């Protein structure tokens, strides 16, 4: 919809208080940020030229939500529910978000994982309406001009993907933008960043998925992927354009391949306000679970030995965040790295191997750890025994690799072993929670990447916490925006992890939960935002919030007030006809 048809009026906290409408008549129904459907009041219908375009009765938002719930529940398949919610969002943004808010625990699985994976795969065949931006070699030179068309929306967060590393299903071409759409809906649900401030972006550099290239319905750029200098130049052009148009907005890199994920994150640490959720968000939520386990065990983080099985972007991200937390706890960088082992398909990662650059940080020197000179000791089981591992984390995507022998070996090293099989989906989880409790006589502390039902062992019910990045990235986004942070620091994610862990109640810990319930997402995101914002102040990267005339002045109470009042709630706003 053209930018000259609507605009926004903000209060001193940068929150939208009114929507200004320059259009009238049936055109109003086509502006999703403005449309209220049957909830337009009689006076609004007169002012906006909507008389006779709607049935006479006026429904409240609450009534609309109840009707929408019935319609969602009537759909049998998750993908059908996804299509309904997304179609509703395309018509009426406020109603769609009010619906999601009313049942966040169930609908989060529809708008995001696991259902969004199906939407990605079926993107071209079920395409209904354009959402977000698709840059490809044919238009990347116009990126700055294209982005400027969105200035009227005051873009504050963009989720950007090159579509290569989607949710464990790999290269999905143009369909990857569905991930960005889902993530941004969760930014709104958790952090209250209004949908009009959010922008999903696909960097379509081609696809190596031959099935897509041969599919007549495929909507993406029908070429094999750009690589090397061509690829990095494409990314550079986008990054420069984004920085020039939205210098104060947050750019979240999403679902890039392992090597590209680290290279791009590190290349734009200081040029963009950006982070990679697959690396840093995964690291933070995993650290949050570990911190909760330490609260239960009454032990110190710096006394643990960690092994991350799976040295991809997520696994190394977990290792990085644990390392940052260990340094903040008082260890030197070397002491922190010495307590973190990573393991890939060839065994424990060692520095004498020819390995990708991003793995080098935690590669072990065999001279320092002589037991690694024996080839058999590079295996998962022997590494657990030799290193004395007390916290075992799985990001490998190898279902069942945490065998009974491996789990029992961790239990030998500590009375309460921390076992975290994080790979998705359930078929790829490293071990089933039921088995882990059985093998450790109920003593293990468990968190997973997939959702699992509670497990009963010896008459005690154990609730399985899901390490979901949704507890981290919305709050990080709001904290960065509220503090006016000039860059995103690793310390922000340690602060986020502590905030998430603090939200797990004593009762939840007694039931075995290491992370909060998704029903508390809004409250958790608020605490994460405050922790991140104050970390920005303490680390000297904060500045007055450019989205608000209200100044926080570095005071925690005033910062909290700013963050709270910046948040949009899914409700209908007053509409001013211009």
**How far is the C-alpha of 150 from the C-alpha of 133, rounded, in Å?**
10
Catalytic residue check, 112:
yes
3-state secondary structure 368-436: CCHHHHCHHHHCHHHHHHHHCCCEEEECCCCCCCCCHHHHHHHHHHCCCCEEEECCCCHHHCCCCHHHH
Residue 274 belongs to a domain: no
One domain for residues 287 and 178: no
Q: 481: which 2 tokens?
A: 């925006």
The pLDDT value given to residue 558: 93
Question: Do the domain assignments include residue 265?
Answer: no
Query: Is 499 part of a structural domain of the chain?
Result: yes
Tokens of 554: 């570095």
Q: What is the CA radius of gyration of the chain?
A: 24
Extract the tokens encoding 53.
């375009």
- What integer pLDDT is reported at residue 3 of this predicted model? 59
CATH code, 230: 3.40.50.10380
Please indicate, yes or no, whether residues 528 and 456 belong to a single structural domain of this protein: no
In this prediction, residue 44 carries a pLDDT of 94
Residues 239, 289: one domain?
no
In a domain? residue 550 = yes
Q: Are residues 412 and 296 in the same domain?
A: yes
Distance CA 262, CA 311 (A): 12
- Asked if 200 and 184 count as a contact pair (C-beta separation under 8 A), the reply is yes
Number of domains the chain contains: 3
Look at residues 256, 288, 323 and tell me which one is the last residue of a structural domain: 256
- Give residue-wise pLDDT tens across range 114-145: 898 899 999 999 898 888 999 999 999 999 99
CA distances from 480 to 355, 489, 547 (A): 34, 10, 11
Cα–Cα distance for residue pair 415/407, rounded to 1 Å: 12
Helix/strand/coil (H/E/C) assignment for every residue in 51-93:
CCCCCCCCCCHHHHHHHHHHHHHHCCCHHHHHHHHHHHHHHCH
| Residue 180 and residue 288 in one domain | no
DSSP secondary structure string for all residues of 447-465: EESS----EEETTEEE--E
Sheet holding 306-309, edge to edge: 347-348, 340-344, 306-309, 391-394, 418-421, 445-448, 465-466
Q: 505 CB contacts (<8 Å, ≥6 apart)?
A: none
> Does 100 map to a domain?
no
Euclidean distance between the first and the last CA atom of the chain, given in angstroms as a whole number: 17
Residues 319, 215 within the same domain: no
Could you tell me if 337 and 461 lie in one domain?
yes
Residue 163 lies in a domain: yes
- Cβ–Cβ contacts within 10 Å for residue 258, how many? 20
**Known catalytic residue at 183:** yes
Q: Identify the domain containing residue 134 by its residue range.
A: 126-256
**Model confidence, pTM:** 0.94
Instruction: Give the bridge partners for 199, in sequence order.
Output: 158
Looking at the structure, do residues 370 and 450 belong to the same domain, yes or no? yes
Domain assignment of residue 261, yes or no:
no
In a domain, 268, yes or no: no
Catalytic residue among 6, 84, 112, 150: 112
The answer to whether residues 504 and 417 belong to one domain is: no
Predicted pLDDT at 114: 85
Taking only the tens place, the pLDDT of each residue in 438-484 is 999 999 999 999 889 999 999 999 999 999 999 999 999 999 999 99
Last residue of a domain, one of 435, 467, 499: 467
Domain shared by 377 and 446, yes or no: yes
**Residue 267 CA, distance from chain mean position:** 21
Q: Are residues 456 and 505 in the same domain?
A: no
Final residue of a structural domain among 438, 467, 496: 467
* Statement to judge: residues 224 and 321 lie in one domain: no
- Name the stretches of the chain with pLDDT < 70: 1-3, 168
- Cα–Cα distance between 400 and 397 in angstroms, integer? 9
User: Looking at 183, 337, 359, 527, which residue is catalytic?
Assistant: 183
C-alpha separations of 394 from 219, 402, 515, 522 in Å: 35, 8, 17, 28
What was the pLDDT predicted at 219?
97
């Amino acid at each position: 919809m053209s930018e000259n048809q609507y605009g926004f009026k903000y209060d001193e906290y940068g929150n939208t208080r009114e929507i200004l409408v320059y259009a009238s008549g049936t055109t109003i129904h086509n502006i999703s940020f403005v449309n209220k459907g049957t909830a337009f009041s009689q006076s609004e219908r007169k002012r906006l030229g909507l008389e006779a375009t709607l049935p006479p009765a006026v429904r409240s938002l609450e009534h609309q939500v109840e009707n929408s719930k019935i319609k969602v529940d009537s759909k049998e398949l998750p993908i059908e529910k996804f299509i309904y919610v997304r179609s509703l969002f395309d018509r009426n943004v406020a109603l769609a978000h009010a619906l999601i808010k009313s049942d966040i625990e169930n609908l989060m699985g529809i708008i995001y994982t696991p259902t969004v994976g199906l939407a990605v795969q079926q993107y071209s065949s079920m395409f209904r309406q354009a959402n977000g931006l698709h840059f490809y070699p044919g238009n990347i030179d116009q990126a700055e001009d294209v982005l400027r068309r969105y200035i009227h929306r005051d873009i504050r967060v963009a989720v950007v993907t090159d579509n290569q590393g989607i949710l464990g299903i790999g290269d999905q071409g143009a369909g990857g933008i569905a991930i960005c759409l889902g993530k941004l809906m969760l930014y709104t649900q958790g952090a209250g960043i209004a949908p009009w401030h959010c922008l999903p972006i696909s960097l379509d550099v081609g696809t190596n998925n031959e099935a897509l290239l041969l599919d007549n319905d495929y909507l993406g750029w029908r070429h094999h992927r750009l690589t090397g200098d061509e690829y990095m130049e494409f990314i550079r052009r986008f990054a420069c354009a984004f920085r020039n148009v939205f210098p104060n907005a947050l750019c979240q890199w999403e679902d890039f391949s392992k090597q590209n994920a680290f290279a791009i994150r590190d290349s734009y640490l200081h040029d963009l306000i950006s982070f990679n959720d697959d690396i840093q968000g995964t690291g933070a939520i995993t650290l949050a679970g570990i911190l909760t386990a330490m609260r239960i065990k009454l032990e110190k983080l710096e006394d643990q030995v960690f092994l991350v099985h799976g040295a991809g972007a997520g696994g190394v991200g977990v290792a990085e965040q644990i390392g940052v937390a260990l340094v903040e706890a008082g260890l030197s960088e070397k002491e922190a790295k010495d307590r973190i082992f990573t393991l890939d398909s060839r065994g424990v990662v060692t520095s004498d191997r020819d390995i990708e650059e991003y793995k080098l940080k935690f590669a072990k020197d065999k001279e320092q750890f002589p037991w690694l000179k024996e080839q058999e000791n590079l295996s998962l089981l022997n590494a657990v025994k030799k290193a004395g591992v007390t916290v075992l984390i799985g990001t490998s995507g190898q279902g069942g690799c945490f065998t009974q022998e491996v789990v029992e070996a961790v239990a030998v090293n500590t009375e309460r072993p921390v076992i975290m099989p994080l790979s998705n989906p359930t078929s790829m989880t490293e071990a089933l929670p039921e088995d882990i409790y059985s093998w450790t006589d109920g003593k293990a502390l468990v968190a997973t990447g997939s959702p699992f039902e509670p497990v009963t062992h010896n008459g005690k019910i154990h609730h399985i916490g899901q390490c979901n990045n949704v507890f981290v990235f919305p709050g990080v986004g709001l904290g960065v925006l509220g503090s006016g942070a000039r860059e995103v620091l690793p310390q922000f994610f340690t602060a986020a992890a502590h905030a998430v862990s603090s939200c797990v109640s004593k009762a939840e810990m007694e039931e075995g939960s290491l992370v909060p319930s998704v029903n508390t997402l809004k409250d958790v995101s608020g605490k994460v935002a405050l922790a991140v914002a104050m970390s920005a102040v303490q680390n000297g990267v904060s500045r007055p919030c450019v989205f608000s005339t209200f100044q926080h002045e570095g005071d925690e109470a005033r910062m909290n007030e700013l963050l709270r009042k910046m948040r949009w709630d899914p409700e209908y706003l007053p509409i001013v006809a211009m």
